[in-house]
């Protein structure tokens, strides 16, 4: 079985990934173009000092990936660190090591140190956003209801539009990635 470092070595850069996107390319680039990393010298400085790598597990059809990947890319650019990604469906052996409640939820970001050790994992959704989305999901009918597919489609369209247009959500993602990765890097000191 390959290590996370081996997956990282074989992965493509997040920049290449975003250029190759099909499903949510314009949406993802819209977030990328409008999101600016908050003035946070302490977190960015720690990333620069420790110089970790981040391995993402993602797919371009995923709405959470559409939101999170451009934010992570901006963090990486500010800190001058490498982020590479693999496609979930082509790397199930890796994905299955990082299941969320038994599911293959994405994106997942693995913070890797210079020795190839995974220091931390983040994803697929910031807790505040998870709470909001799950609250909306409660309004969907049961899966066997004849209206379920139509209402789920409307739900997904609503969330997608909000992800693209709500900078507060972008900050929730940034703040949670910061919290998780900052703590992991401090422990390494």
Q: Quick one: pLDDT band at residue 189, thresholds 50, 70, 90?
A: low
The position carrying tokens 């800190």 is 79
Residue 158 confidence (pLDDT) above 80: yes
Mean pLDDT of the region 16-41 = 94
Which helix H or strand E contains 87, and what residues bound it?
A: strand 83-87
Residue 37 confidence (pLDDT) above 70: yes
Domain that holds residue 161: 4-188
Query: Total domain count for the chain?
Result: 1
Mean pLDDT of the region 179-186 = 96
Residue 14 confidence (pLDDT) above 80: yes
CATH classification of the domain holding 179: 3.40.30.10
For 40-66, the pLDDT digits (tens) are: 779 999 999 999 999 999 999 999 999
Torsion sign, CA atoms 130, 134, 135, 140: positive
Q: Is 113 exposed, middle or buried (0-12, 13-18, 19+ CB in 10 A)?
A: middle
For 87-122, the pLDDT digits (tens) are: 999 999 999 999 999 999 999 999 999 999 999 999
* pLDDT given at position 6: 97
Phi (first) and psi of residue 121, to 5 degrees: -130, 140
d(CA 189, CA 185): 7
The mean pLDDT of the chain is: 96
Nearest 10 degrees: CA dihedral of 74, 76, 80, 81?
A: -170
Out of 40-49, 73-82, 156-165, least confident range: 40-49
Mean pLDDT of the region 126-141 = 95
Inter-residue contact 122 to 146 (CB < 8 Å): no
């Amino acid at each position: 079985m390959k290590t996370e470092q081996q997956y990282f070595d074989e992965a493509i850069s997040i920049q290449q990934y975003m250029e190759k996107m099909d499903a949510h390319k314009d949406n993802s680039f819209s977030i990328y173009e409008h999101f600016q990393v908050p003035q946070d010298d302490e977190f960015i400085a720690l990333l620069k000092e420790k110089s970790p790598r981040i391995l993402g597990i993602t797919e371009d059809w995923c709405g959470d990936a559409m939101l999170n990947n451009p934010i992570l890319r901006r963090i990486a650019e500010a800190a001058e660190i490498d982020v590479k990604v693999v496609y979930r469906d082509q790397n199930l052996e890796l994905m299955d090591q990082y299941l969320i409640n038994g599911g293959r939820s994405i994106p997942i970001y693995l913070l890797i140190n210079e020795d190839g050790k995974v220091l931390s994992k983040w994803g697929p959704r910031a807790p505040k956003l998870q709470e909001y989305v799950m609250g909306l999901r409660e309004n969907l009918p049961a899966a066997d209801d004849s209206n379920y597919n139509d209402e789920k489609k409307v739900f997904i369209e609503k969330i997608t539009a909000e992800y693209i247009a709500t900078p507060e959500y972008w900050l929730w993602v940034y703040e949670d990635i910061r919290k998780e990765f900052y703590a992991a890097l401090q422990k390494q000191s």
